[in-house]
């Protein structure tokens, strides 16, 4: 046998399943993986360590890792990779995966699984393998798709499908469950099923419907645009701003849509809905044309009376998800299934061709009157700092590129009320669809890793902070320059306010004992500041935010402070409550 014949007949080395997973990461230019380690993902971690320069980021819990991945994806627009082990690793990962699903965050989740021989399958028993759970059944309701790969030959094609689905259409998390024998098994390359690289197919803009909307807008005298998270996801804020500014159309935003239009601009109505401004809600209710762009018309945006969102006018909606249009909570006069960026550009061209523009001058005067008539409210004077004033002081002190994260509670709605957002310079990251306490710190970690040059500020309540307070260790370990502003009112006060308004008491949510959060931060190795006085507040906040490196700012705020005005159940958008929940 010749040398050439000998080389040609040598068997091709087989490849291991874990290496195929890494190959998919490299093919999709993954730079970081966010993990909480365990035995059933150890083969993949070993492959990453041996064969790549991908950074392994390991927060202190599975939830922390998932939220850090989510924050990284939100800031970069890239698909994040989140990995957990089987059993409790999987069940602890459900919440951040659900958050990514409801807020349309692209993520590929790799879950470890027991070997296929140890899986329960269809047997009428609870469990066969140690730390076995049925991952696909658990994840299917809160993920775009969930796969369990039982044949190593399918692995590259399933991973390719996962990355495609995560980024395509309405983005979201895709879960790939990998049994140990698939990760550790080997296969000859020629036995692998071919990998087909897919490209996203974006719905064509329905030209006739765009023309109808252009006609309605040209005829309108009281238009309002409601910009949602879809505008942010599509990076369509330049098109939105160009349209609004040219035709003098006021813009309100949902919470996930904050920053789609500069919230301090004259045409901005700020946030709408249950905790938005009264003038934004008045404008929506009294308009003659409401154009929703990339928004779900969720209960928190339109209130509990969807049929009465607009008193007397038309409602048009642009959305990438045809199912959202077909099952809209709010009755629609016109639906347009299209990408927000493409649709807004098409609408601008249609209006340009018509050469007509709405006369909105009287409408804008009316809105300015409402802004003067319905200010955002604060409670009675107190020697303790007002949380709204702390947020406003931080807003004044911060310049340049700023990323803000929040937890869930009163502070979550005070932040978009009192902090200015304008993408891409000033970005808000918050749990809007799932509403998860503990979102705050780990998302700030992922955001900081995604954009080291940005100023990252985490506004958090005392209740939300304690959901994932252990992630302070990750901030200290990496010396991540994150400023953590704790608004401590010794209560779960968004729920407490609701209980007081409806039942006149808050038996489980108020007057909670808290630790000295500044001392806790120092124990983790962080710098910390305590603020207890309203006097000199702006200077104290500015000085604390200017300190180098990570800092926790523990603010003891007035516990008797409500979110007002607030839209309650059974109220139309023009009838927000201004009644304090505390007894006089």
What is the average pLDDT across 409-432?
97
Q: In this predicted structure, what is the pLDDT of residue 23?
A: 97
Measured CA to CA, the distance from residue 225 to residue 19 in angstroms comes to 49
Question: Using one digit for the tens of pLDDT, what is the confidence trace for 371-405?
Answer: 999 998 888 889 999 999 999 999 999 999 999 99
Which residue(s) pair with 404 in the sheet? 428, 457
Sign of the alpha-carbon torsion through 255, 259, 262, 267: negative
Tell me, rounded to whole angstroms, the distance of Cα 223 from its chain centroid: 28
Count of other CB atoms within 10 angstroms of residue 354: 13
Percent of the chain with pLDDT over 90: 85
Question: What is the chain's percent helix, strand, coil content, to nearest 5?
Answer: 40, 15, 40
Is residue 32 a contact partner of residue 81, using CB atoms and an 8 Å limit?
A: yes
- Count how many Cα atoms sit within 13 Å of the Cα of residue 269 in the half-sphere of its side chain: 37
Residue 290 pLDDT level (bands cut at 50, 70, 90): very high
Residue 293 has pLDDT above 60, yes or no: yes
DSSP assignment of 190-238 equals GGSPPP------PPPP-HHHHHHHHHHHHH-SSEEEEE-HHHHHTT-HH
Measured CA to CA, the distance from residue 305 to residue 520 in angstroms comes to 45
Can you read off the two tokens belonging to residue 304?
A: 């509990």
Q: In this predicted structure, what is the pLDDT of residue 93?
A: 98
Residue 1 pLDDT level (bands cut at 50, 70, 90): very low
Distances (CA, A) of 466 to 17, 144, 408, 448, 486: 39, 30, 12, 20, 11
Can you read off the two tokens belonging to residue 497?
A: 């306010």
| 278: Cβ contacts below 8 Å, ≥ 6 apart | 370, 374, 565, 576
Distances (CA, A) of 431 to 253, 257, 363, 428: 15, 12, 33, 10
Q: In this predicted structure, what is the pLDDT of residue 10?
A: 59
Q: Which of 160, 154, 164, 165 has the alpha carbon at shortest distance from 193? A: 154
DSSP assignment of 100-160 equals HHHTT--EEEEEEE--GGG--TTSSSS-SSTT---HHHHHGGGSSEEEE--SGGGHHHHHH
Measured CA to CA, the distance from residue 68 to residue 135 in angstroms comes to 21
Measured CA to CA, the distance from residue 224 to residue 267 in angstroms comes to 10
Measured CA to CA, the distance from residue 552 to residue 547 in angstroms comes to 10
292 three-class SS: strand
Question: Using one digit for the tens of pLDDT, what is the confidence trace for 53-63?
Answer: 999 999 999 99
Count of other CB atoms within 10 angstroms of residue 481: 17
Residue with the two structure tokens 């702390």: 390
What is the average pLDDT across 541-555?
98
What is this structure's pTM?
0.94
Q: In this predicted structure, what is the pLDDT of residue 532?
A: 97
> Helix count (H) and strand count (E) of the chain?
24, 20
Q: In this predicted structure, what is the pLDDT of residue 198?
A: 75
Q: In this predicted structure, what is the pLDDT of residue 9?
A: 54
What is the average pLDDT across 104-127?
92
Residue 5 has pLDDT above 60, yes or no: no
Question: Using one digit for the tens of pLDDT, what is the confidence trace for 18-31?
Answer: 999 999 999 999 99
Residue 12 pLDDT level (bands cut at 50, 70, 90): low
Residue with the two structure tokens 């209960």: 299
391 three-class SS: helix
Extended strands (E) in 13-97: 15-16, 32-35, 55-57, 80-84
Is residue 342 a contact partner of residue 205, using CB atoms and an 8 Å limit?
A: yes
Count of other CB atoms within 10 angstroms of residue 181: 16
Residue 6 has pLDDT above 80, yes or no: no
Residue 4 pLDDT level (bands cut at 50, 70, 90): very low
Measured CA to CA, the distance from residue 83 to residue 524 in angstroms comes to 26
Can you read off the two tokens belonging to residue 383?
A: 């020697």
Residue 3 pLDDT level (bands cut at 50, 70, 90): very low
Q: Please, is 88 exposed, middle or buried when counting C-beta atoms within 10 Å of its C-beta (0-12, 13-18, 19+)?
A: middle
Burial 404-432 (b: 16+ CB within 10 A, else e): bbbbbbbbbbbbbbbbbbbbeebbbbbbb
Q: What are phi and psi of 175, to 5 degrees?
A: -105, 130
Identify the weakest region by mean pLDDT among 250-264, 346-360, 398-412.
346-360
Q: In this predicted structure, what is the pLDDT of residue 270?
A: 97
Is residue 429 a contact partner of residue 447, using CB atoms and an 8 Å limit?
A: yes
Q: Which of 381, 459, 475, 403 has the alpha carbon at shortest distance from 74? A: 403
Q: Please, is 261 exposed, middle or buried when counting C-beta atoms within 10 Å of its C-beta (0-12, 13-18, 19+)?
A: buried
Q: Which of 305, 374, 377, 330 has the alpha carbon at shortest distance from 569? A: 305
Measured CA to CA, the distance from residue 132 to residue 326 in angstroms comes to 39
Q: What are phi and psi of 117, to 5 degrees?
A: -70, -20
What is the average pLDDT across 236-241?
98
What is the average pLDDT across 124-143?
92
Question: Using one digit for the tens of pLDDT, what is the confidence trace for 167-198?
Answer: 999 999 999 999 999 999 999 999 998 887 77
In whole numbers, what is the pLDDT of the chain averaged over residues? Answer: 94
Count of other CB atoms within 10 angstroms of residue 191: 10
Question: Using one digit for the tens of pLDDT, what is the confidence trace for 456-506?
Answer: 999 999 999 999 999 999 999 999 999 999 999 999 988 888 888 888 888
Burial 309-323 (b: 16+ CB within 10 A, else e): bbeebbbbbbbbbee
Residue 432 pLDDT level (bands cut at 50, 70, 90): very high
Measured CA to CA, the distance from residue 455 to residue 448 in angstroms comes to 8
């Amino acid at each position: 046998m010749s040398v050439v014949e000998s080389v040609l007949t040598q068997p091709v080395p087989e490849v291991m399943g874990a290496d195929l997973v890494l190959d998919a990461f490299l093919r999709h230019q993954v730079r970081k993986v966010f993990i909480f380690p365990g035995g059933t993902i150890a083969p993949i971690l070993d492959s990453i360590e041996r064969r790549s320069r991908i950074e392994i980021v390991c927060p202190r819990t599975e939830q922390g890792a998932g939220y850090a991945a989510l924050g990284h994806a939100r800031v970069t627009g890239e698909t994040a990779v989140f990995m957990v082990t089987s059993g409790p690793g999987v069940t602890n990962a459900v919440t951040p995966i659900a958050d990514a699903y409801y807020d349309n965050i692209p993520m590929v989740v790799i879950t470890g699984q027991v070997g296929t021989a140890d899986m329960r399958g269809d047997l009428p028993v609870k469990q066969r393998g140690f730390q076995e759970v049925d991952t696909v059944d658990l994840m299917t309701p809160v993920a775009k798709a969930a796969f369990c790969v039982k044949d190593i030959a399918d692995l590259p094609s399933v991973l390719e499908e996962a990355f495609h689905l995560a980024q395509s259409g309405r983005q979201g998390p895709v879960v790939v469950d990998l049994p140990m024998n698939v990760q550790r098994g080997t296969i000859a390359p020629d036995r692998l099923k071919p990998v087909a690289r897919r490209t996203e197919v974006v719905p064509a803009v329905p030209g006739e419907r765009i023309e109808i909307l252009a006609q309605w807008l040209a005829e309108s005298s009281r238009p309002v645009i409601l910009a949602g998270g879809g505008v942010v996801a599509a990076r369509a804020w330049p098109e939105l701003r160009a349209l609004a500014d040219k035709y003098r159309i006021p813009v309100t935003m949902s919470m996930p849509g904050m920053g789609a239009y500069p919230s301090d601009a004259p045409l901005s109505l700020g946030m709408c809905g249950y905790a938005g401004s009264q003038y934004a809600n008045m404008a929506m209710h009294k308009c003659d044309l409401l154009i929703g762009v990339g928004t779900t018309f969720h209960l928190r945006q339109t209130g509990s009376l969807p049929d009465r969102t607009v008193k007397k006018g038309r409602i048009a909606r642009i959305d990438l998800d045809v199912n959202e249009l077909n099952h809209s909570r709010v009755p629609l006069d016109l639906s347009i299934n299209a990408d927000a960026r493409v649709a807004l550009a098409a609408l601008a061209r249609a209006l340009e061709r018509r050469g007509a523009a709405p006369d909105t001058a009287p409408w804008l005067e009316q809105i300015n009157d409402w802004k003067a008539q319905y200010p955002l409210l604060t409670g009675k004077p107190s020697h303790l700092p007002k949380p709204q004033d702390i947020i406003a002081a931080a807003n004044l002190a911060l310049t340049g590129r700023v990323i803000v994260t929040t937890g869930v509670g009163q502070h979550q709605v005070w932040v978009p009320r009192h902090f200015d957002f304008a993408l891409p310079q000033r970005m808000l990251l918050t749990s809007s669809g799932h509403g998860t306490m503990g979102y705050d710190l780990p998302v700030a970690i992922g955001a900081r890793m995604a954009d080291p040059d940005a100023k990252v500020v985490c506004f958090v309540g005392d209740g939300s902070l304690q959901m994932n307070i252990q992630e302070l260790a990750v901030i200290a370990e990496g010396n991540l320059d994150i400023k953590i502003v704790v608004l401590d009112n010794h209560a779960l006060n968004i729920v407490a306010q609701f209980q007081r308004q409806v039942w006149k008491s808050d038996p489980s949510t108020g007057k909670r004992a808290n630790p000295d959060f500044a001392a806790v931060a120092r124990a983790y190795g962080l710098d910390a500041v305590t603020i207890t006085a309203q006097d000199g507040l702006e200077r104290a906040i500015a000085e604390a935010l200017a300190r180098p490196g990570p800092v926790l700012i523990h603010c003891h705020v007035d516990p008797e402070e409500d979110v007002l005005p607030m839209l309650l159940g059974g109220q139309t958008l023009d009838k927000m409550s201004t009644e304090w929940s505390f007894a006089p």
